[in-house]
Amino acid sequence: MEILDVTDESFEREVLQSDVPVLVDFWGDHCAACRQIAPILHELAEERSGSLKIVKMHAAENVMTSSQFGIRAMPTVLAFAGGTVCGQLVGARSKVDFGELADRAS
């Protein structure tokens, strides 16, 4: 499953109105930890295709949504279920940590 890029304009449709839980990866251009977790999130997206959606949002280019959810550090990954935040991880973490975050949203 492909990881979608979302924007302020598509966030509500792709995340808040999603029929399945969503992990949102808020990232930035000069963020080494963001590059470090990207392959982990791709693996998780493949493994949980159909039961979990993973999207990326460039924090600096989508200030409205980043501000709304208080994004202060990158990467920050928020878990959404039914349009509500149900978990958060900040910084480079393990695949197990992201899996547990996804489980909280399921």
List pLDDT tens digits, range 32-49. 999 999 999 999 999 999
> By C-alpha distance, which of 44, 39, 40, 38 is closest to 58?
38
Whether the predicted model's global pTM rises above the 0.75 cut: yes
Provide the annotated active-site residues.
Answer: 31, 34
Q: What is the pLDDT of residue 2?
A: 84
Dump pLDDT digits (tens) for 1-18. Answer: 689 999 999 999 999 999
**How many angstroms separate the CA atoms of 69 and 39, rounded?**
24
**How many angstroms separate the CA atoms of 81 and 12, rounded?**
13
Please state the domain extents for the chain: 4-105
**How many angstroms separate the CA atoms of 23 and 63, rounded?**
18
CATH for the stretch 4-105: 3.40.30.10
Mean pLDDT for the chain overall: 96
Residue 91: pLDDT over 80 = yes
